[in-house]
Amino acid sequence: MPGKHIIFLCILILIKGILYSQDGMVRTKEGRSILSKRELVTNCLKSFHKDRSDATTFSICECQVNKMDLHFTSKQYKRHTAYGIIDIGSLIKEDSLFEKEMENCFKSSGQTFLLQAEGFEDEFIANCINGIQQSTEKKLDINNVRRFCSCQLDLVKAKKISDAEIETLSNPNSLLFYEMMDKCGDPFLTDKKVSENWNQNSEHDIEGPSSDTINILTINGMSYVKIKTGSLIQIWLFDTGSSDLLINTDMEKQLKKEDILQDSSYLGIGEYEMANGTIDSCRKYKISNVQIGKFKVNNIVVAVTEKGKKIIVGKGLLNKFSNWSLNNKENTLILTK
């Protein structure tokens, strides 16, 4: 997410000495007319790539210009004038308290992210990338992060997302959080995403009939399904909230003995959020010949946890199929190739 708000400083350079009526002028602290309010507002709007028909931006610009009236002394204006041109940006920056007042005109609009996305795309994306990089110590895939930030930019503009809505992104259970992740993906992925939604290439990873109906067990409201990996035929907890297959260290040792898990299939360490909200760092492998019902499924990611014994099958396997459904009445899992 962009890590900072932009601050509009009226425009960096403006011409001095325009003579208009007193009411339409920005005056020095001594009361001397020095700058045209209308021209300042016009330049402000141009900096946002807006015109006077945009009420929100016009209000920001008018607020900032009005704050300048009677604030700076003639001496201050003179200090920041060269060849008849006033450097308004440097004039404001020398007064940090006033600079914050100018920023408040911008922040109080409630549309800072939207205005930045609409008028300052490069800065929006740069702030987004910087914010993500500062939030983790992991080495990130910069191309993946850039794609995410570009997608976020497009979503903010398309939905006219307000600052209040952006704040909900800090809540991992909010609608906007999941919409952003659904449309833009995970910016913290460091390798190619392996647990993707179904696509036409998925069918190449499945051997078996067009469909199969598999009996499942239901115990204390939880569903379990029989799966074979190597020589191991075990009962796995069925969890659609999980991504990859989750195995324990005992199973890892056995699958290594059978050469199901090999050094060549090791994918590195991945971070997984457990059901209790804790983060578990797990070893990841890619395996094939995972047998469920009458199907053999290849190119499946398994993650090894050292924090429990339960083995879990998640959507990394299920998403290989074009369709899957649970029949609670019959206690069956229906898989379609």
pLDDT digits (tens, 9 = 90+) for 204-243: 899 999 999 999 998 888 889 999 999 999 999 888 777 7
By percentage, how much of the chain surpasses pLDDT 90?
54
For the chain, what are the domain ranges? 13-109, 117-184, 200-336
Distance separating alpha carbons of residues 224 and 318, to the nearest angstrom: 14
Partners of residue 250 on adjacent β-strands: none
pLDDT digits (tens, 9 = 90+) for 278-321: 677 888 999 999 999 999 999 999 999 888 788 999 888 888 99
The helix (H) or strand (E) run that includes residue 236 is strand 232-238
Q: Residue for token digits 């700058």?
A: 35
Q: Where are the alpha helices (DSSP H) in 108-229?
A: 112-119, 121-134, 142-159, 163-167, 175-184
Of 118 and 275, which is predicted with more confidence? 118
Supply the pLDDT for residue 23: 63
In this model, does residue 190 exceed pLDDT 80? Answer: no
Residue 24 CA: distances (Å) to CA of 21, 119, 219, 273: 6, 27, 77, 59
State whether the Cα torsion 181-184-189-193 is positive or negative.
positive
Supply the pLDDT for residue 15: 39
Distance separating alpha carbons of residues 109 and 111, to the nearest angstrom: 5
Q: Is the pTM of this model over 0.95?
A: no
Pairing of strands 232-238, 312-313: parallel
pLDDT digits (tens, 9 = 90+) for 50-98: 999 999 999 999 999 999 999 999 999 999 999 888 998 899 999 999 9
Confidence category of residue 159, pLDDT binned at 50, 70, 90: very high
Supply the pLDDT for residue 5: 41
Q: Residue for token digits 């499942």?
A: 216
Nearest CA to 16 out of 83, 65, 71 is that of 83
Structure tokens at 247: 């195995």
Q: Which of 14-23, 90-99, 241-250, 316-325 has the lowest mean pLDDT?
A: 14-23
In this model, does residue 18 exceed pLDDT 90? Answer: no
Distance separating alpha carbons of residues 327 and 333, to the nearest angstrom: 6
Nearest CA to 77 out of 297, 69, 318 is that of 69
Nearest CA to 245 out of 322, 304, 203 is that of 304
Distance separating alpha carbons of residues 314 and 321, to the nearest angstrom: 13
Per-residue pLDDT, averaged over 153-170, amounts to 93
Contact of 224 with 216, CB cutoff 8 Å:
yes
Distance separating alpha carbons of residues 253 and 274, to the nearest angstrom: 22
Contact of 258 with 231, CB cutoff 8 Å:
yes
The helix (H) or strand (E) run that includes residue 254 is helix 249-257
Per-residue pLDDT, averaged over 15-42, amounts to 76
Supply the pLDDT for residue 197: 65
Domain 200-336 grouped into CATH 2.40.70.10: yes
Q: Compute how many other C-beta atoms are within 10 angstroms of the C-beta atom of residue 4.
A: 11
Distance separating alpha carbons of residues 1 and 153, to the nearest angstrom: 10
In this model, does residue 2 exceed pLDDT 50? Answer: no
